[in-house]
Amino acid sequence: MRSLVVFVAGLFDFMSVSLRTRILVLVVTVTVSVAMVVGFANFIQARSMSRAAAEAELYAEARAISAHLESAFQIANDHAFILRNTPPIDGMIRAQANGGVDPYDGSLYETWRERLEAIFTSHLQVQSEYTQLRFIGLADQGREIVRVDRMEGEIRVVPRSALQRKSDEFYFQAALSTRPSSTYTSPITVNREQGAPAPDQVPTVRTVLPVARSDGQLYGMLVINADIRIVLENALAAATPTYDVYISDSYNNYIHYSPSDGIMNSQFSFEEGFDPPELLSRDGDDLFDAEGVTYASYRFQTGQDGQGIDFRVLIGEPTHELMVGAYAIRQQSILLAVSLVVLTAIGSLLFVTSLTRPLGQLTDAVRSYGQNRTPMDLDVSDNDEIGELGRAFCDMIRALEENELTANTFENIIDGLILITPDGAIQAMNPAASFMFGYAENELVGQDVSVLLPDGARLERDGAFKQIPCFIDHHLVGETFEAVAKQKNSTPLHVELTLSEVQKPDTLLFSLLMRDISARKQMEVMKDEFVSTVNHELRTPLTSMLGSLSLLKKRLETKLNDDDKASMLLNMAQRSCDRLTLLVNDILDLEKIAAGKLEYRMQIIPCDDLVQDVVESHRMLGEEHGVTFKLDLQADDPPVRLDVSRFNQALVNLLSNAAKYSPNGEVVTVSTQNMAGQSIRISVSDNGPGIPEDFQSRLFDRFSQADSSTTRRVGGNGLGLNITKTLIEAFDGEVSFDTTVGVGTVFHITLPIASPEAAQSPDEMDENFVKLYQGIA
């Protein structure tokens, strides 16, 4: 804790010194750090390269030693095969099988035996590492047939009376499972005589070759005993290594060689006081350090078919000698770092002095401006950072003056104005906004704009309102919205919003202009209530008038046949009542849509069947206008989810428009098409005059009509397409059109195909009555 306090105090002292001193200290610190890092990196690289070079050299030496050792064992294997192929072996086998006489040349069994003793003797005289040569038979519990020993430097043929049984020895049993064409090399053990360790404690390795008769049956085995200590010493003498060497087997029997002292030590597991060095027990590392020496480990195996001895050669070099090159590079790096720090300190002092002088002049000019508002006398002609800083200060003064003017405008505007960040957080607001909502500015700064607009806003597009939770996410800059805001006392407030983008040098903001339209909304409510009242009041007398006209027409049918004028007047009155009834019904539907009271009873139904039913039931509508309805159903009857009666209303509106605007005698085609299994398209195609280009953008608006003269001729109130679009969108569909002036128009209804799970029960009704459309597209 005390050290932390001292560090913090030193940091404050450092921050209080001049910029010149801080830059100088920083540059020197960075230089020292870089020099240390580079020097350390060079040392690590040199160390790695030194170890890699040493590893390669040590491995080469280890492979040379292993090659000599493998050669010694290979020579023993070759000698075993040479002895096996000498004539006495086969002669003894033939003589024993023929009553003691070789049938080939008449030689006695004992003669062949003496000849083999002579051959064994000559081999021992040449191979100083061999201690015994034996021919052992399987008979009589593995009794030795011929044996020649080397004892105390003398070679002695063992008489028959002293020959031993060897069937209990481990190497005898191992040789029984060895192929006659292969040799078995035993682990290193003490030489055994008469079933017990021999007194001379010679570390012995045995090369055993099975001997088979001509019929392939095993007869015996040739055994070559070698003193492994002599074998290892001979291999080291032949390789003449220049490094410290350990050769060990899997039982940690080892021999230690030093280039200066020769064979320093050798120990075997059967010896009393056996204590191998700890480094022999390290496993898995090809290169490791132990007691200041770096060792490389190399493994190999002697023998054939995996029946040999696993040897490990450790070649060591003192680590300090290995790292001589790396230490030299480290010393050079230190000297280079010191020189670099000194030169950097001198250069930094000169540079910092030239840098801070104009900064001091700039500070005096800025201080003078802050005290008496006099124009700053700055040299901003330089193209360096100091010149840039001077120009930035001049620009800042101009920006401050402009901001003062902007702040006055912001404060005095009569409408509410709020600045919002791109994520919707309120950054600032003018007094009019504070007064409008009853909040102090500090209560809203940092809050999300949803505090004032909890239900989002409504944007009018294509004659319909779209509810959006956060218009900032949609980047609807320049759009005008309507919303129901909430004041601080939770009183609702109808406002009109305009979103604008305010681009600042360092950030992007949005300005939200709010205008209180509560009075206007109240007038709209009064108007809607008036229209609703009028429509409801008209509906009852219209129904009565229509019924009365129908009844009157029926009763006077015979009398009117002779009075064409009366019949024409009565039919005109009935048609006018029908048109007025349709107008009242459309206005009532629009009122329900705007109020969110239009309910839908959704169900799953095959689409082609539904379209066919609607067209067939309204063919009379086409006949009234002199056109024919033609069906082209290609959708394979996929299921759709909709309100049947409302869909009927939407499709009939399109059929009615197509019939009205098509010339007499033309065909209106109603087709269905499956759109890649995702949706179905229902198209109504006519051969009418087409839709003028300047009217296409307003086609789905309420009470919109392209040509009043045509309207008077065919009838219509401009509400049908708006209602159709609203109904289809309530079914998650959409309405579109393709038109060519003078050729005709095709209206498309696109509906999603119901999922397979929902379509399993196409006649099942959805029991939930949901208001799927509340004036929101």
413-516 CATH pick, 3.10.20.90, 3.30.450.20, 1.10.10.10, 3.30.300.20: 3.30.450.20
What gap in Å lies between CA 108 and CA 598, rounded to an integer? 127
Residue type, 165: R
For residue 264, the SS3 value is: strand
**Which carries the bigger pLDDT value, residue 316 or residue 379?**
316
Q: Residue 465's closest CA among 485, 482, 484, 449?
A: 482
289-326 burial: b if 16+ Cβ within 10 Å, else e: eeeebbbbbbebbbbbeebbbebbbbbbbebeebbeeb
**Which carries the bigger pLDDT value, residue 735 or residue 481?**
735
Per-residue model confidence (pLDDT) at position 260: 86
What gap in Å lies between CA 98 and CA 95, rounded to an integer? 5
Per-residue model confidence (pLDDT) at position 220: 94
Residue 199 scores a pLDDT above 80 = yes
What gap in Å lies between CA 459 and CA 470, rounded to an integer? 11
**Which carries the bigger pLDDT value, residue 517 or residue 386?**
517
195 and 168 in contact (C-beta within 8 Å)?
A: yes
Please name the residue that has the structure tokens 């061999």.
130
Question: Residue 744 corresponds to which tokens in the numbers above?
Answer: 């005709």
Residue 535 scores a pLDDT above 60 = no
Per-residue model confidence (pLDDT) at position 536: 59
Helix (H) or strand (E) holding 735: strand 734-740
Question: Residue 169 corresponds to which tokens in the numbers above?
Answer: 């020895």
SS3 track for 301-344: ECCECCECCEEEEEEEEEHHHHCHHHHHHHHHHHHHHHHHHHHH
Per-residue model confidence (pLDDT) at position 703: 62
**Which carries the bigger pLDDT value, residue 27 or residue 746?**
746
Residue 128 scores a pLDDT above 60 = yes
By mean pLDDT, which of 17-21, 438-442, 743-747 is the weakest? 17-21
Instruction: State the pLDDT confidence band at 192, using cuts at 50, 70 and 90.
Output: confident
Per-residue model confidence (pLDDT) at position 89: 93
Which is it for the CA torsion 584, 586, 588, 591, positive or negative? negative
Residue 608 scores a pLDDT above 50 = yes
List, in order, residues 6 or more apart from 749 with CB less than 8 Å away.
Answer: 650, 651, 654, 681, 682, 683, 728, 733, 734, 735
Residue 411 scores a pLDDT above 60 = yes
* Rg from Cα positions in the chain: 55
Average pLDDT estimate for 446-465 = 71
Residue 577 scores a pLDDT above 70 = no
DSSP 8-state class, residue 186: P
What gap in Å lies between CA 549 and CA 557, rounded to an integer? 12
Per-residue model confidence (pLDDT) at position 108: 94
What gap in Å lies between CA 554 and CA 611, rounded to an integer? 33
Question: Can you say how many angstroms the Cα of residue 80 is from the centroid of all Cα atoms in its chain?
Answer: 65
Residue 763 scores a pLDDT above 50 = no
Measured CA distances, 737 to 668, 670, 684, 749 (Å): 15, 14, 9, 9
348-384: per-residue pLDDT in tens?
A: 777 767 666 666 666 776 666 666 666 555 555 666 6
What gap in Å lies between CA 653 and CA 166, rounded to an integer? 114
Per-residue model confidence (pLDDT) at position 534: 58
Per-residue model confidence (pLDDT) at position 711: 47
What gap in Å lies between CA 45 and CA 43, rounded to an integer? 5
Residue 137 scores a pLDDT above 70 = yes
SS3 track for 576-610: HHHHHHHHHHHHHHHHHHHHCCCCECCEEEEHHHH
Residue 17 scores a pLDDT above 70 = no
Helix (H) or strand (E) holding 236: helix 228-239
Q: How many residues belong to the chain?
A: 777
Per-residue model confidence (pLDDT) at position 653: 85
266-312: per-residue pLDDT in tens?
A: 889 888 888 898 888 877 667 788 878 888 888 888 766 666 788 88
Residue 731's CB: how many other CB atoms inside 10 A?
Answer: 21
Residue 16 scores a pLDDT above 60 = no
Q: State the number of CA atoms in the 13 A half-sphere of 141 facing the CB.
A: 6
Which CATH architecture does the domain made up of 596-760 adopt?
2-Layer Sandwich (3.30)
**Which carries the bigger pLDDT value, residue 329 or residue 260?**
260
Question: Residue 396 corresponds to which tokens in the numbers above?
Answer: 């800042």
Average pLDDT estimate for 18-31 = 74
What gap in Å lies between CA 481 and CA 458, rounded to an integer? 6
Residue 768 scores a pLDDT above 50 = no
Average pLDDT estimate for 125-150 = 93
Measured CA distances, 770 to 589, 642, 751, 766, 767 (Å): 16, 12, 19, 10, 9
User: Nearest-5° angle of CA 390, CA 391, CA 392?
Assistant: 90
For residue 560, the SS3 value is: helix
Question: Residue 377 corresponds to which tokens in the numbers above?
Answer: 């006398």
496 and 485 in contact (C-beta within 8 Å)?
A: no
| Residue 184 exposed, middle or buried by CB count within 10 Å (0-12, 13-18, 19+) | buried
Residue 65's CB: how many other CB atoms inside 10 A?
Answer: 25
Q: What is the pTM of this model?
A: 0.43
Mean pLDDT across the chain: 78
Residue 542 scores a pLDDT above 50 = yes
Which is it for the CA torsion 424, 430, 433, 434, positive or negative? positive
- Could you tell me which CATH class the domain 58-320 is placed in? alpha beta
Per-residue model confidence (pLDDT) at position 305: 63
Q: Residue 514's closest CA among 470, 473, 490, 484?
A: 484
Residue 461's CB: how many other CB atoms inside 10 A?
Answer: 11
Which is it for the CA torsion 359, 360, 361, 365, positive or negative? positive
Residue 318 scores a pLDDT above 70 = yes
Instruction: State the pLDDT confidence band at 572, using cuts at 50, 70 and 90.
Output: low
By mean pLDDT, which of 25-34, 84-93, 130-139, 400-409 is the weakest? 400-409
Instruction: State the pLDDT confidence band at 492, using cuts at 50, 70 and 90.
Output: confident
Measured CA distances, 210 to 173, 240, 329 (Å): 11, 36, 61
**Which carries the bigger pLDDT value, residue 512 or residue 540?**
512
Average pLDDT estimate for 178-182 = 83
What gap in Å lies between CA 671 and CA 633, rounded to an integer? 5
Which residues share a beta bridge with 521? none
Instruction: State the pLDDT confidence band at 775, using cuts at 50, 70 and 90.
Output: very low
What gap in Å lies between CA 445 and CA 250, rounded to an integer? 79
What gap in Å lies between CA 446 and CA 444, rounded to an integer? 6
Which is it for the CA torsion 661, 667, 672, 673, positive or negative? negative
Instruction: State the pLDDT confidence band at 635, using cuts at 50, 70 and 90.
Output: confident
278 and 265 in contact (C-beta within 8 Å)?
A: no
Alpha helices in 319-430 (DSSP H): 319-322, 324-372, 385-412
By mean pLDDT, which of 211-220, 602-611, 722-731 is the weakest? 722-731
450 and 473 in contact (C-beta within 8 Å)?
A: no
